Chains A and B, each alone.
Chain A
């Protein structure tokens, strides 16, 4: 036996003298041997001793071996213990009955000690393997149950997250919409006041009205931006193959007036086909270009747009000759309502770059800012290349 602990064998036989030689032989081969003299005692010892194997005499007074075996197999505490019957050599009927009662094997009397040892060892190692298999099986099942539980928890959490996200977006959308009407009242009536009482009011009154109108206008801009950012998800269209150049052209069309006013120069290199939502990518270009023009003292303000292949992605670079972004603010500028300058210096709600980031991330890309050529800044973002697109 190659197990580290000695295996225990229970011998059940009504005439101990018959099995003494066998018991001593097994004992000599490193087994713990216990003996019971009838079926009832055998069952008892099996229950409390939990032997690794039972050698069971078929013919005994009281419960014979078959009855004892049936009882051993009926009791959950002993059912798994392998039982080897000891039968008379000639009795073929007994051998069949032995299997029928739940025996795993038989040895015949008179014993051939080496044969008994060989059978005992075989069944013990079978039993050990079976145990090991069972343990592994149980461990696997435990693991499966744990994973299933973990998956359930995860699924539940992501459902909750999706729900609260959707709610939040809906709230932002409704709030922005419902804020418009009262704001319209404030702005319109202040303007009406100015229009009707022009000339009857002094300079202070006109200045106060000016501040009120300006406040309402800025609030309007904030609401528009909040609506835009909440629409990045609520009004999202599926990503499809598109010419990035078209999105840029659309952005330049809507910026035409400020481009002309500042006589800004926009240099465009060939742009690739990408996977995207055209309206949203137009918005990204529009925000980046209007920043490039706004945050610039040079004449003329100049922006250059180029693309570089990067694996499955395209890296789009919008660089300018503007005032640049100091190193310490380069992450912060993508946060909502983050402004680096006073209102009188540069107008704006501080939400444009947050919108860009949200859109780029929805497209599976990232956006960051680095040094531009000649002191300005360069905003770089990645987009997925359209399918079948060469580098």
Chain B
């Protein structure tokens, strides 16, 4: 797929506006044309994926970027529900977390996350990580 032709649809589940903007900037600096939809908690993420109101016309995302520590329903619960539903199961899910705790990583891998990324502390490192996301849709 040619990135210039149609931007990838990314659903970002993240409650920190700073983290959202940083990811959008990093996507830009990594040269990835994307259209990022943002929801702030796990319940809204599932509403979006099931096109429930207010996301009635939501497009099926090419990639879900999932934070773990979320209001209402946390990231691993969302991941579990996506993987249990055959209709959603095919969507790549990348967990983006500040936690490098072994049990967080293990739980997400057990739930078939496509990738678990510990957010790097510096921006250049983050751009490199974001650039690496390409492999999930090319």
Is there a chain A Cβ closer than 8 Å to B77's Cβ? no
* A188 adjacent to B22 (CB under 8 Å): yes
B 96-138 contacts with A by CB, 8 A: 98-99, 101, 119, 121-124, 126
* A188 adjacent to B122 (CB under 8 Å): yes
Count of inter-chain pairs, beta carbons less than 8 A: 37
Q: How far is the CA of A50 from the CA of B75 in the complex (A)?
A: 84
Is there a chain A Cβ closer than 8 Å to B29's Cβ? yes
- Which residue numbers of A lie inside 8 Å of B, CB to CB? 177, 180-181, 183-185, 187-189, 191-192, 195, 216, 220
* A187 adjacent to B16 (CB under 8 Å): no
- Which residue numbers of B lie inside 8 Å of A, CB to CB? 16, 18-19, 22, 25, 29, 98-99, 101, 119, 121-124, 126
* A192 adjacent to B22 (CB under 8 Å): yes
* B98 adjacent to A192 (CB under 8 Å): no
- Closest CB in chain B relative to A177 CB, distance in Å: 7
| B25 cross-chain contacts in A, Cβ below 8 A | 192
| A220 cross-chain contacts in B, Cβ below 8 A | 121
Q: How far is the CA of A185 from the CA of B120 in the complex (A)?
A: 11
Residue among B16, B121, B122 with the highest chain A CB neighbour number at 10 A: B121
- Closest CB in chain B relative to A155 CB, distance in Å: 32
* B98 adjacent to A188 (CB under 8 Å): no
* A177 adjacent to B99 (CB under 8 Å): yes
| A185 cross-chain contacts in B, Cβ below 8 A | 16, 18-19, 22
Q: Which chain A residue shows the least CB distance to B22?
A: A188
* A184 adjacent to B124 (CB under 8 Å): no
- Closest CB in chain A relative to B97 CB, distance in Å: 10
- Cβ 8 A contact of B98, one of A184, A191, A216: A184
Q: How far is the CA of A283 from the CA of B100 in the complex (A)?
A: 18
- Closest CB in chain A relative to B95 CB, distance in Å: 15
Q: How far is the CA of A184 from the CA of B101 in the complex (A)?
A: 17
Q: How far is the CA of A8 from the CA of B134 in the complex (A)?
A: 108
- Cβ 8 A contact of B124, one of A189, A191, A216: A191
| B121 cross-chain contacts in A, Cβ below 8 A | 180, 183-184, 187-188, 216, 220
* A187 adjacent to B123 (CB under 8 Å): yes
- Closest CB in chain B relative to A198 CB, distance in Å: 13
* B123 adjacent to A195 (CB under 8 Å): yes
Q: Which chain B residue shows the least CB distance to A192?
A: B123
- Closest CB in chain B relative to A24 CB, distance in Å: 95
| A184 cross-chain contacts in B, Cβ below 8 A | 98, 119, 121
- Closest CB in chain A relative to B85 CB, distance in Å: 30
Q: How far is the CA of A177 from the CA of B122 in the complex (A)?
A: 16
Q: How far is the CA of A216 from the CA of B122 in the complex (A)?
A: 10
- Closest CB in chain B relative to A173 CB, distance in Å: 9
| A192 cross-chain contacts in B, Cβ below 8 A | 22, 25, 123
Q: How far is the CA of A62 from the CA of B22 in the complex (A)?
A: 110
The 3 A-B pairs with the shortest beta carbon distances in the complex, nearest first, are A191-B123, A188-B123, A185-B18
Not counting A184-B121, A189-B123, a sample of 10 additional A-B residue pairs whose C-beta atoms are within 8 angstroms of each other reads: A181-B16, A181-B19, A184-B98, A184-B119, A185-B19, A187-B121, A187-B122, A188-B22, A191-B122, A195-B123
| B126 cross-chain contacts in A, Cβ below 8 A | 188
- Closest CB in chain B relative to A280 CB, distance in Å: 16
| B18 cross-chain contacts in A, Cβ below 8 A | 185, 189
* B98 adjacent to A180 (CB under 8 Å): yes
Q: How far is the CA of A34 from the CA of B25 in the complex (A)?
A: 111
- Closest CB in chain B relative to A389 CB, distance in Å: 32
Q: How far is the CA of A64 from the CA of B106 in the complex (A)?
A: 92
- Closest CB in chain A relative to B56 CB, distance in Å: 33
* A177 adjacent to B98 (CB under 8 Å): yes
Q: Which chain B residue shows the least CB distance to A223?
A: B121
- Cβ 8 A contact of A195, one of B19, B29, B101, B119: B29
Q: How far is the CA of A177 from the CA of B119 in the complex (A)?
A: 12
| B123 cross-chain contacts in A, Cβ below 8 A | 187-189, 191-192, 195
Q: How far is the CA of A122 from the CA of B123 in the complex (A)?
A: 99
Q: How far is the CA of A192 from the CA of B25 in the complex (A)?
A: 9
| B99 cross-chain contacts in A, Cβ below 8 A | 177
- Closest CB in chain B relative to A231 CB, distance in Å: 10
Q: How far is the CA of A381 from the CA of B22 in the complex (A)?
A: 46
Q: Which chain B residue shows the least CB distance to A220?
A: B121
Q: How far is the CA of A306 from the CA of B122 in the complex (A)?
A: 40
Q: How far is the CA of A242 from the CA of B25 in the complex (A)?
A: 48
Q: List 9 A-B contacts (CB under 8 A).
A: A177-B99, A180-B121, A181-B16, A183-B121, A185-B19, A187-B123, A189-B123, A192-B22, A220-B121
